[in-house]
């Protein structure tokens, strides 16, 4: 297989959500696995609803997920290509003008259903003479333009669904150009796929019914055999079967980021849900790429519980190596020679990344110690060994305190944790104590803010 060229084509009419991220990541990982290219295409031909702020937010959200486009294009800057394609189709007699109003079409569909017929457009406009069209336009009617389908069965091998086919005789000739001259989705999408040399179209299963029409349009504009390979994946829904919508803002990528969810947790859940692979934490997109395979995607619904994200995000943090979080730690003033040891000490106790801030304060800042047992704390302070300290220091020190005080178990360890950290629980003190250091440890055991 030649190196794939794929595209993710959001409309900048709202903020993308985890379901959109699923499609973006499917394409991105497929391209990376095949050494190919990933194109970000903004489908912004709806100039009224498309907003620059949404386009910018989509780019930010994709970058947060680790998705870096090789090329970004905007349909709003490519109308000349669509105009040329429409002219080609008109010249070939494949794009024809229709003058029915929406009400007239609706009444016609109802009559067909009432007679037990499929509600397919009857191509009445093809019977209009030039005089008929002139008369209708003189009445103020403007035509919309339909693509004349060849009534044949279109078959393709879907990357997810396997052998697939649609009988185009069961479809209405699709409208490609509205009365006001603006384009619907289909024509610009196919023209762009041809121009950008897209080899694979990976998208949600809600687009399956569009595929036969698009394959015929590829054939009309580029010749037989020029259609890309298609793959239609199941859609991500909540456990109740509720779909996701950009308009509702449910589970938007920006919202998940603001909630402290790890991007790799979002990626793992978005990609692996609804597949034969279990959802599990990953340390990088490279690791996820090794797992990803379109043949593993199920034909069944891809349902998930949003509550799973919190736990998956925490589990993701717990396995991240220091090199992958170094810059994020620096952004929160966690730096210096202690930073790596600190991360390895605390990562297993983090629910969100921002939890590093209070733990860094325990190590490098001032806290209010909690003295539960003043006698024990004072005795422990006198037994603090001289530095340098390492991870064996905690065991040797608490053994000495136990032998002198007779305390053991919770009666020994809990008061020492409260004094040293001010908290009931947390990372292992064998790892924290060398980071806290002898001076701070002594001050805190004596009840001093340090």
Structure-token match 């064998």, residue found: 430
Q: What are phi and psi of 145, to 5 degrees?
A: -120, 125
Strand order in the sheet with 175-177: 95-98, 144-147, 175-177
**Confidence (pLDDT) at 58:** 98
* CA-based nearest residue to 144, from 120, 111, 178: 178
Q: Looking at 31-130, which runs of residues are DSSP E strands?
A: 37-42, 71-74, 95-98
Q: How far is CA 169 from the centre of its chain?
A: 37
| pLDDT tens by residue, the chain, 450 residues | 689 999 999 999 999 999 999 999 999 999 999 999 999 999 999 989 999 999 999 999 999 999 999 999 999 999 999 999 999 999 999 999 999 999 999 999 999 999 988 999 999 999 999 999 999 999 999 999 999 999 999 999 999 999 999 999 999 999 999 999 999 999 999 999 999 999 999 999 999 999 999 999 999 999 998 999 999 999 999 888 777 766 556 689 999 999 999 999 999 999 999 999 999 999 999 999 999 999 999 998 899 998 899 999 999 999 999 999 999 999 999 999 999 999 999 999 999 999 999 999 999 999 999 999 999 999 999 999 999 999 999 999 999 999 999 999 999 999 999 999 999 999 999 999 999 999 999 999 999 999
Quickly count helices (H) and strands (E) in the chain: 18, 12
Hey, what are 83's tokens? 């105009």
**Confidence (pLDDT) at 249:** 65
Q: What are phi and psi of 40, to 5 degrees?
A: -95, 115
The pTM of the full predicted model, rounded to 2 decimals, is 0.92
d(CA 104, CA 100): 6
Task: Cis check for the bond before 388: say yes or no (omega within 30 of 0).
Answer: yes
Beta bridge partner(s), residue 306:
none
Provide the 3-class DSSP secondary structure of residue 299: coil
Contact in structure between 335 and 329 (CB atoms under 8 Å): yes
Cα angle value 284/290/292 (rounded, 5°): 100
Contact in structure between 100 and 125 (CB atoms under 8 Å): yes
* CA-based nearest residue to 177, from 79, 103, 109: 79
95-98 and 144-147 beta bridge pairing: antiparallel
d(CA 24, CA 21): 5
Provide the 3-class DSSP secondary structure of residue 40: strand
d(CA 409, CA 393): 18
Q: What are phi and psi of 251, to 5 degrees?
A: 55, 40
Contact in structure between 381 and 450 (CB atoms under 8 Å): no
Q: Give the Cβ contact number of residue 169 at 10 Å.
A: 12
Structure-token match 């349909």, residue found: 75
**What is the chain's alpha carbon radius of gyration, rounded to the nearest angstrom?**
31
DSSP code of residue 357: H
**Confidence (pLDDT) at 239:** 87
Show the domains of the chain with their CATH numbers. 1-94+149-320 (3.40.50.620), 100-141 (no CATH), 321-364 (no CATH), 374-445 (1.10.10.350)
d(CA 441, CA 416): 10
| Alpha-carbon distance values, 224 to 55, 78, 93, 163, 405 (Å) | 34, 24, 18, 19, 88
224: exposed, middle or buried (C-beta count within 10 Å: 0-12, 13-18, 19+)?
exposed
* 96 Rama sector, left if φ>0, alpha if ψ -120 to 50, beta otherwise: beta
d(CA 263, CA 266): 5
Hey, what are 142's tokens? 């403007």
Contact in structure between 24 and 4 (CB atoms under 8 Å): no
């Amino acid at each position: 297989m030649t190196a794939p060229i794929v595209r993710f084509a959001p409309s900048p009419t709202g903020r993308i959500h985890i379901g959109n991220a699923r499609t973006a990541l499917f394409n991105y990982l497929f391209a990376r696995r095949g050494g190919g290219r990933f194109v970000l295409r903004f489908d912004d031909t709806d100039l009224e609803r498309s907003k620059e702020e949404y386009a910018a937010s989509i780019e930010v959200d994709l970058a947060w997920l680790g998705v870096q486009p090789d090329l970004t294009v905007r349909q709003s800057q490519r109308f000349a290509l669509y105009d040329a394609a429409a002219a080609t189709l008109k010249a070939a007699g494949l794009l024809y003008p229709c003058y029915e109003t929406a009400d007239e079409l609706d009444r016609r569909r109802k009559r067909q259903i009432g007679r037990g017929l499929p509600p397919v457009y009857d191509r009445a406009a093809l019977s209009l003479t030039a005089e008929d069209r002139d008369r209708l336009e003189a009445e103020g009617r403007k035509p919309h333009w339909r693509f004349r389908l060849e009534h044949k069965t279109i078959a393709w091998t879907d990357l997810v669904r396997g052998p697939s086919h649609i009988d185009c005789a069961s479809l209405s000739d699709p409208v490609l150009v509205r009365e006001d001259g603006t384009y619907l989705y289909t024509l610009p999408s196919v023209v762009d796929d041809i121009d950008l040399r897209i080899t694979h179209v990976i998208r949600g299963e809600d687009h399956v019914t569009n595929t036969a029409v698009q394959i015929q349009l590829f054939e009309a504009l580029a010749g037989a055999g020029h259609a890309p390979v298609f793959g239609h994946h199941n859609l991500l829904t909540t456990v109740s079967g509720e779909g996701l919508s950009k308009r509702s803002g449910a589970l938007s990528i920006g919202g998940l980021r603001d909630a402290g969810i790890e991007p790799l947790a979002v990626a793992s859940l978005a990609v692996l849900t609804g597949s034969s692979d279990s959802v599990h934490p990953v340390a990088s997109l490279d690791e996820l790429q090794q797992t990803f395979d379109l043949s593993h995607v199920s034909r069944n619904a891809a349902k998930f519980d949003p509550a799973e994200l919190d736990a998956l995000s925490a589990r993701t943090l717990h396995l991240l190596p220091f090199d992958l979080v170094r810059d994020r730690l620096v952004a929160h003033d966690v730096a210096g020679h202690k930073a790596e040891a600190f991360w390895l000490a605390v990562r297993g106790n983090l629910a969100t990344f921002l939890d590093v801030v209070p733990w860094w304060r325990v190590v490098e800042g001032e806290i209010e110690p909690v003295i539960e047992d003043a006698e024990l704390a004072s005795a422990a302070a006198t037994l603090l060994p001289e530095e340098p300290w390492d991870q064996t220091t905690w065991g040797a020190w608490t053994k000495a305190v136990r032998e002198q005080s007779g305390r053991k178990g919770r009666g020994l360890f809990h008061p020492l944790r409260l004094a040293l950290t001010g908290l009931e629980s947390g990372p292992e003190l064998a790892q924290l104590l060398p980071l806290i250091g002898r001076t701070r440890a002594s001050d805190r055991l004596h009840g001093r803010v340090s």
